[in-house]
Structure 1
Amino acid sequence: MDTFDRESGRDLPSLPGRAAQPIPQRRTAAMKVATICDVMGQPNNGTTLAALNLIRYLRDAGHTVTVVAPGGEASDGYLPVRVWHAGPLIDRILRMNGVELAVPDKQLLEAVIREADVVHLLIPLPLARAALKIARRLGKPVTASFHCQAENITAHLGMMNAGWLNRLIYRNFYRKVYRWCTAVHYPTEFIREVFETATHPTPAHVISNGVNDMFRLPDSRPENGKFTVVCSGRYSREKAQQQLLRAAALCRHRDDIRLILAGDGPRRKHYLRLAKQYGLDCQFAFFPRQELLHILQTADLYVHTAIIEIEAIACTEAICCGLVPVICNSDRSATRFFACGDHTLFEPGDVRALADLLDYWYEHPAARVERAAEYADLRHSFDQTACMQQMEQMLKEAAGL
């Protein structure tokens, strides 16, 4: 069986045995899937993780998957294209976010697509757009996932709240990519409604990205020296981790709280300055998956501060590890729908309310245990094997198999 190095995000044809339990082989018509991903970097963002999980599952199920993405070395099943360099400023922004963008290679794309039963696009950027044109010319069915909110782009321009620009970006996505697709995968009903409200109806399939089986309830949760609060995600404006730092500084129990901000990104220096300014016990680091699993299985609480979110794999992983999530109640985030019961939501920017929630859960350990048990049904809905089987069926239907 192929293996995959999740830490480097490069050796795509090699898929990991360590990240998930083996998936039973099922008798099914084998497909040849061309997977086109404009962004394939370190596994520090939901798009990359979703892509890697789908690739791993399809290969384990006996399908042939050829990946075209920027960077890395060519190997069986992975064909790199040149990395796009747009000048020092944009290149610096991309590096800080841990991603590389692709320069389309039309000759390579045509060779891959000509042999495929179905073409699957991950991000509606130049590589995917070039692949779509070729696939249409060759009469190949095309499916696409929706992994990019408009605000993921406009946040880097300082225009995250410019509704007109966000709508313009969605209309461009629709006109150039999604209107031509046989099937469109949305991780949540929320993002489907956002996109279709701004554009037009699509042949939609709402399927969670799921959570890897490695993220599961621990046998027991230790008593920590300090109340440990985890917040996982890219350090960026739309993830808004500064809310947690400022809230922790206001807590009555601030000296008994330890924060772990798992991730990396362009706001790292800013967050380090805030933590120092407030005198917080806070760790900043990007953790390998096994280390992140250990952190989630031993922490006391999870806080999700993002104001822009399609699904939030980071939050679903925490829920599956038995943590109660405290979630930012942003109307531009699907994650708010994961909240269960009271004392789990705070309004964007209301750091006083978040501080009160941190104090509440610190003071009510029994309530935390009871609340965590109420997430059992939601944890089950994130079963990645079931989610990937739905993705497989979507691709098979598009391919006519």
Structure 2
Amino acid sequence: MQTVAAFTDTYLPTVNGVTYTVRAWRDRWHDRGGRMDVVFPGAPEYDPEDGEYATRSFGFPFYEGFRFGLPGVPDAVRDVDVVHAHTPFALGLSGLYLARRIDAPLVASYHTPTSEYADYIANGRTADALEAVARRYERFYLNRARAVVVPSEPAREHLRGIGIDAPVSVVPNGVDTGFFRRVDDGDFRERYDLPDGPLVGYTGRHGFEKGLTGIPPAVAAADTDATLVFGGDGPARDALERAAAEHGLDARFLGFLPREDLPAFYSALDAFLFPSPVETQGLVALEANACGTPVVGVNDGALADTVRDGVTGHHFVRGDVDGFADAIERTLAERESLSANCLDSREESSVEHAVDRLAEVYDEL
């Protein structure tokens, strides 16, 4: 089994799905008898485990919980077979440097469509300029990898469209199906004071780029008496709360949920609502499915594939409030059959299946 050095800029327990993916792949790689060390931005409150190496870092000013890692290559990871970068930025450049120095292949994971976020942090010509710069940088970095890994076919098509010539392989991030499973949600509802009726909602980062402010008007337009529930937090939360109030919804904002509460959260929902057009896979949609909860997802980006229309949920056209509302109604009406389909598809979305595919990519180098 190969030894791997994984470089990532999101690894602390409080942050996003990239963290989960790196941890899950590392643990399963160790289970297979290999070694996967992780290089990540250190934080004062986190004590690294064996095989984890922190670099110097500072707090990211725009999002609590993120740390910006300064470039660095710990001595302990200088003798590996494969360098796997989960970021193209500072620590990704450290991975590129290490790969060249020890003549090891560089594998680059593409988790986030950086250029597509430009419209959400700037306007007009400034956004166009930022997008152009981001795409040039993505091409610069990814074309220096021996292999690029993406979690979905739409993500691979996107990279081909912006001029990535390196080999691109689809390796789904994978879900820990031993953890994400259907559970009794009674205690969860009681602790968070949630009603007994139908629930619809979302958990994850509340970012404007995810289109979450489209959820309240769609729920208000749908013919349902469901309570709207949000887990997580982020810069769009205030706008979400205002939108829910403006539409007269019974909306509950639970804030960041402990990881151990996520299976119960998903199990409590009758439909998971996911309007984000900027996902490279949409891991939370697969987590919801693994808990037997169908997803109402935008028919755009990776969710066009991740959500199987009429099987594990329903699609709607981006920006179509009435279409979103109709998809919510259909999902609630078909809740029982869709849930059964979700549970039947658990194995194909498992992290074990993902690591099998990752091993094939490493073996081909």
Matched, 1:206 2:180: no
State the distance in 2 between where 1:152 and 1:377 align.
34
Q: What residue in structure 1 maps to residue 142 of structure 2? A: 178
Q: The residue matched to 2:84 in structure 1 has which SS?
A: strand
**Of 306, 317, 322, which aligns to 1:347?**
317
Q: CA deviation at 1:192?
A: 0.9
Q: What residue in structure 2 maps to residue 26 of structure 1? A: none
Q: The residue matched to 1:230 in structure 2 has which SS?
A: strand
Q: CA deviation at 1:375?
A: 4.2
Cα separation, partners in 2 of 1:173 and 1:239, compared to 1, 3 Å: same
Q: What residue in structure 2 maps to residue 317 of structure 1? A: 287
Q: What residue in structure 2 maps to residue 259 of structure 1? A: 228
Matched, 1:77 2:51: yes
Q: CA deviation at 1:288?
A: 1.7
Q: CA deviation at 1:75?
A: 4.6
State the distance in 1 between where 2:56 and 2:62 align.
18
Q: The residue matched to 2:346 in structure 1 has which SS?
A: helix
Cα separation, partners in 2 of 1:396 and 1:43, compared to 1, 3 Å: farther
Identity, % of aligned pairs? 27
Matched, 1:63 2:28: no
- Written as runs of structure 1 = structure 2, the 5 A alignment for 1:2-401 is 29=1, 31-72=2-43, 73-84=47-58, 91-95=60-64, 98-105=65-72, 108-109=73-74, 111-151=75-115, 153-159=117-123, 162=127, 165-175=130-140, 177-213=141-177, 214-218=179-183, 225-253=196-224, 256-284=225-253, 285-330=255-300, 333-337=301-305, 338-341=307-310, 344-362=314-332, 364=333, 367-375=334-342, 378-398=345-365
Unaligned runs of 5+ in 1: 1-28, 86-90
Give, as a single letter, the amino acid of the residue that structure 2 aligns with 1:147: H
Kept after mapping to 2: 8 A contact 1:34/1:113: yes
State the distance in 2 between where 1:233 and 1:351 align.
21
Q: The residue matched to 1:55 in structure 2 has which SS?
A: helix
State the distance in 2 between where 1:151 and 1:318 align.
27
RMSD over equivalenced CA pairs, Å: 2.7
Unaligned runs of 5+ in 2: 190-194
> What's the CA shift string for 1:110-150, capped at 9, x where partnerless?
x2442212111001002211331232132122111111212
Give, as a single letter, the amino acid of the residue that structure 2 aligns with 1:71: G
Give, as a single letter, the amino acid of the residue that structure 1 aligns with 2:354: C
State the distance in 2 between where 1:219 and 1:287 align.
17
State the distance in 2 between where 1:388 and 1:155 align.
34
Q: TM-score, normalised on structure 1?
A: 0.79
Kept after mapping to 1: 8 A contact 2:115/2:132: no
